[in-house]
């Protein structure tokens, strides 16, 4: 009887978990001939989430089936609804509309995260987002529709809620997108709102001068120290009492882990992430691993925890894939470590700011930073070509970066 590894989720962590597992099994040869690896995801493509703020989000997807076939990984199109760790099986609602139960010997949960939408009045009904592909496409259609609306201050005003990484990239990209839609004669008013006392609070003081310079140069207004408390069809109201009339509110307020984590672990942090051991095994289980946005794990010996980002997800996936296959074969697992950390923040026409280290020392800015951002977004985070040797090499957890 075949031994089965199931990977739940086809994002960055899930795809690189599949590559990592396939690499171990390929190296094991006949000892792993009876092992089947299956990736379960609602879609047969990887949505390149870091690029969904750009003008053509529908193009930000990479096909998975040729890649998975090249490394002998099965694919099931569907959504996992229930995980039964006691019985070692999952229930999947397939794309064909059926619920099927799949057994497993080892499981890797890589079901990712979603945008946190608190219960604010009007938020769900009236605010846009760039969290998922469908969100980004909905925003694109809305922006394009503005050209057919009568000109007004509200039509030409755009509120971005959340001054973190995503909010900054959304806000600084908007002038470029709006110029193509509304023309050069319209000067949009863009307001970036952050409830903390500074823009980019999680990015630290290192790149802040460059961020502030870019916002000033592009002409983006900021509001700090007060969040949005309600949204309606004609505007947004802040906790300070200020109301901003606008036809477009874009919400970028933080992430929470997939709700599937609660079916696997009772030890969750405030973002819903599972506690795992150094080899990415879920605490309290002996056969379930996790990777990406669903786990809370140290990246190094200095006390830094992995962030909800593709940088950590794809690297962690290599370790999870290696470890789940090694564990099934009775081999030693590896302790996850990812000591190199960098950020590259796109700031629209100003360029980008690239930093290295957890203290975020600025290394590149303006055009040089932009070139590095393009390299990251078009090469580093995309899956390898569907060629066996290249794909298996991409699953090596000892790759330093990229």
Q: Within this chain, do residues 33 and 152 fall inside the same structural domain, yes or no?
A: no
Q: Are 144 and 40 found together in one domain?
A: no
Residues in CB range of 224: below 8 A, 6 or more apart: 163, 193, 194, 195, 196, 197, 198, 199
Same domain membership, residue 148 and residue 37 = no
Quote the CA–CA distance of 279 and 271 in Å, as a whole number.
21
Query: Phi and psi (nearest 5°) for 34?
Result: -95, 10
Q: What is the DSSP code string of 5-64?
A: EEEE--SHHHHHHHHHHHHHHHHHGGGGTTEEEEEEESSSEEE-GGGTTSS-GGG-EEE-
Structural tokens at position 317: 């996936």
Q: What whole-number distance in Å separates Cα of residue 181 and Cα of residue 175?
A: 10
- Answer yes or no: do 90 and 172 share one domain: no
- Supply the pLDDT for residue 401: 56
Token pair for 79: 């959504």
List phi, psi (to 5°) of 246: -160, 150
Same-domain status, 127 and 247: yes
CATH number at residue 337: 3.50.50.60
Distance CA 346, CA 171 (A): 10
In the block, residue with structure tokens 């309290």: 284
Same domain, 218 and 147: yes
Domain assignment present for residue 38? The answer is yes
User: Which tens digit of pLDDT belongs to each residue from 220-274?
Assistant: 999 999 999 999 999 999 999 999 999 999 999 889 999 999 999 999 999 999 9
DSSP readout, 289-318? EE-GGGEE-BSSTTSPBPPSSHHHHHHHHH
The two tokens of residue 392 are: 């298996």
Q: Are residues 23 and 99 in the same domain?
A: yes
For residues 188 and 155, state if they share a domain: yes
In the three-class reduction of DSSP (H, G, I as helix; E, B as strand; rest coil), residue 104 is classed as coil
Q: What is the distance between the terminal CA atoms of the chain, rounded to a whole angstrom? A: 37
- Let me know whether 243 and 134 are in one domain: yes
Within a domain: 381: no
Contacts of 368 (CB under 8 A, 6+ apart): 351, 354
Show the tokens assigned to 68: 């998975």
How many angstroms from the chain centroid is the CA of residue 260? 16
Residue 85 lies in a domain: yes
Which runs of consecutive H residues, i.e. helices, occur in 184-266? 208-218
Q: Are residues 22 and 65 in the same domain?
A: yes
* Residue at 169 is within a domain: yes
Grouping H, G, I as helix, E, B as strand and the rest as coil, residue 237 is strand
Are residues 7 and 38 in contact, defined by beta-carbon separation less than 8 angstroms?
yes
Which residue from 257, 258, 260, 259 is spatially nearest to 84, judged by alpha carbons? 260
Place of tokens 């070509």: 385
| Residue-level pLDDT at 400 | 66
Domain match, 167 and 229 both: yes
How many domains does the structure of the chain reveal?
2
Same domain (yes/no): 8, 105: yes
Q: Which of 1, 12, 2 is nearest to 321 (CA)?
A: 12
Which helix H or strand E contains 139, and what residues bound it?
A: helix 133-145
Residue 305 CB coordination number (10 Å): 13
- 168 domain residue, yes or no: yes
Does 350 fall in a domain?
Answer: no
> 3-class SS at 140?
helix
Q: Is 346 within a domain? A: no
Q: Domain range for residue 317? A: 3-115+255-341+387-394
Single out the residue of 165, 178, 199 nearest to residue 49, CA to CA: 165
pLDDT along the chain (402 residues), means of 10: 96 98 98 98 96 96 97 98 98 97 98 97 98 97 97 97 97 98 96 97 95 98 97 97 98 96 96 98 97 98 96 97 98 97 97 97 98 95 97 92 52
Residue 355 lies in a domain: no
């Amino acid at each position: 009887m075949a031994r089965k590894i199931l990977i739940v989720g086809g994002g960055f962590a899930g795809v690189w978990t599949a590559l990592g597992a396939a690499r171990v099994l390929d190296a094991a040869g006949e000892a792993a001939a009876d092992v089947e690896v299956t990736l379960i995801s609602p879609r047969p493509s990887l949505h390149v989430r870091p690029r969904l703020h750009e003008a053509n989000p529908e193009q930000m997807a990479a096909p998975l089936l040729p890649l998975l076939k090249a490394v002998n990984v099965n694919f099931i199109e569907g959504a996992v609804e229930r995980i039964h760790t006691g019985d070692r099986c999952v229930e999947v609602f397939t794309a064909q509309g059926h619920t099927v139960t799949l057994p497993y010997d080892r499981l890797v949960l890589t079901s990712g995260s979603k945008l946190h939408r608190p219960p604010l009045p009007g938020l769900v009904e009236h605010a846009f987002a760039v969290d998922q592909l469908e969100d980004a496409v909905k925003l694109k259609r809305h922006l394009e529709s503005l050209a057919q609306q009568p000109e007004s201050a509200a039509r030409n005003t755009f509120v971005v809620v959340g001054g973190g990484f995503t909010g900054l990239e959304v806000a600084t990209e908007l002038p470029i997108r709006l110029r193509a839609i509304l023309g050069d004669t319209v000067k949009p008013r863009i307001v970036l709102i952050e409830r903390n006392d500074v823009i980019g609070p999680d990015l630290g003081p290192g790149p802040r001068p460059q961020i502030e310079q870019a916002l000033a140069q592009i002409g983006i207004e900021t509001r700090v120290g007060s969040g949005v408390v309600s949204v309606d069809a004609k505007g947004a109201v802040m906790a300070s009492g200020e109301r901003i009339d606008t036809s477009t509110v874009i919400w970028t307020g933080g992430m929470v882990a997939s709700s599937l984590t609660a079916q696997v672990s009772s030890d969750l942090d405030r973002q819903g992430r599972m506690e795992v051991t150094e080899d990415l095994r879920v605490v309290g289980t002996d056969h379930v691993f996790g990777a990406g946005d669903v786990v809370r794990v140290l990246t190094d010996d200095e006390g830094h925890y992995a962030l909800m980002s593709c940088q950590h997800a794809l690297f962690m996936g290599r370790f999870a894939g290696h470890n789940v296959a090694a564990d099934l074969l009775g081999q030693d697992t590896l302790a996850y470590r990812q000591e190199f950390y960098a950020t590259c923040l796109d700031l629209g026409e100003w360029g980008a700011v690239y930093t290295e280290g957890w203290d975020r020392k600025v290394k590149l800015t303006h055009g040089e930073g932009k070139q590095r951002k393009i390299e990251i977004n078009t090469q580093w985070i995309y899956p390898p070509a569907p060629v066996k040797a290249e794909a298996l090499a991409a699953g090596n957890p000892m790759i330093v970066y990229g």
